[in-house]
Amino acid sequence: MTKALWAERDYVVPSPIPHLVLSQTPRGILVQYDAECERTGDIHHRAYYLQSNLSRIAKGQKPLFVDPAKEGPERVIPILNSSEPGPHRAEFFAVCLTNGSTFTLYRGAKILGPCDLPVYKDGGETAKQVALTPLAVVGDASIVGALTAPIWASWFAVGAAANPDGTPANFY
C-alpha cells in the first residue's frame, strides 16, 4: 500500500498536445501551454514568464505561474516547424520541435534555447501522500500480520505442547 501511495506518478508534465503560445509582453516573453497531472490526467492551462523561470525549470521546480489575462498587451511570436530561412521569416520567431514541449527562440542573430516546457513534482500530491502514509503503513502491517499469523500460531502450538521442563513433548 505504501509503495503504491508513493509511486512516481505525481508529476505535472506538458500535455501530449500542449497548445504552445509564445508572446512578447511589456514584462517579457510569456509562455502559455497545457499541462497534464500524471496522477489524475487532468489538463490545466498554464502561463509563465520565460526569463525569470529558466533556472527553476532547469532544476525541475514549478515555475511562478501568472494569469495571462492580467499581463497587458501581447504580441504573438510565430512558432515554426523549422529554422530554415523562408520568404516571410519574421524578425522574432520560435521553432518548436515535433514533441511540442521544446522550443527555441530566434531574434535576429540571437538564439535563446532550446527551452523545455516545465516538468515538476506536484506539491499538492506530496502533501496528500504524507497525510495518507500512516494509514498505508497500518494497512501494510495488517497484511503482514495476516500472512504471518499461521506461522506464529504453529510456533505457539509447539511451545504449548512442551513438557514443564521445556523439552519438546513426545508425539508418539
Q: In sequence order, what are the residues at sequence separation of 6 or more whose Cβ sits closer than 8 angstroms to the Cβ of residue 85?
A: none
Q: In sequence order, what are the residues at sequence separation of 6 or more whose Cβ sits closer than 8 angstroms to the Cβ of residue 105?
A: 22, 29, 50, 77, 92, 93, 94, 111, 112, 113, 115
Residue 89 maps to a domain: yes
Q: Which residues of the chain, if any, have pLDDT below 50?
A: none
pLDDT at 105: 93
Do 5 and 129 touch, CB atoms closer than 8 A? yes
Residue 3 maps to a domain: no
pLDDT at 114: 93
pLDDT at 165: 66
pLDDT at 33: 97
pLDDT at 97: 78
pLDDT at 55: 95
Residue 164 maps to a domain: no
Assign 51 to helix, strand or coil. Answer: helix
Residue 163 maps to a domain: no
pTM above 0.75, yes or no: no
Kindly state the cell numbers that stand for 68: 495571462
Q: Please give the tally of structural domains in the chain.
A: 1
Q: In sequence order, what are the residues at sequence separation of 6 or more whose Cβ sits closer than 8 angstroms to the Cβ of residue 158?
A: 168
Query: pLDDT tens-digit profile of 72-101?
Result: 788 999 998 876 655 556 788 999 877 789
Query: pLDDT tens-digit profile of 60-72?
Result: 999 999 999 898 7
Residue 150 maps to a domain: no
Q: In sequence order, what are the residues at sequence separation of 6 or more whose Cβ sits closer than 8 angstroms to the Cβ of residue 77?
A: 22, 23, 24, 29, 90, 92, 93, 94, 105
pLDDT at 98: 72
Give dist(CA 2, CA 9) in Å, integer.
14
Residue 146 maps to a domain: no
Residue 149 maps to a domain: no
Residue 21 maps to a domain: yes
Domain that holds residue 52: 11-122
Do 104 and 113 touch, CB atoms closer than 8 A? yes
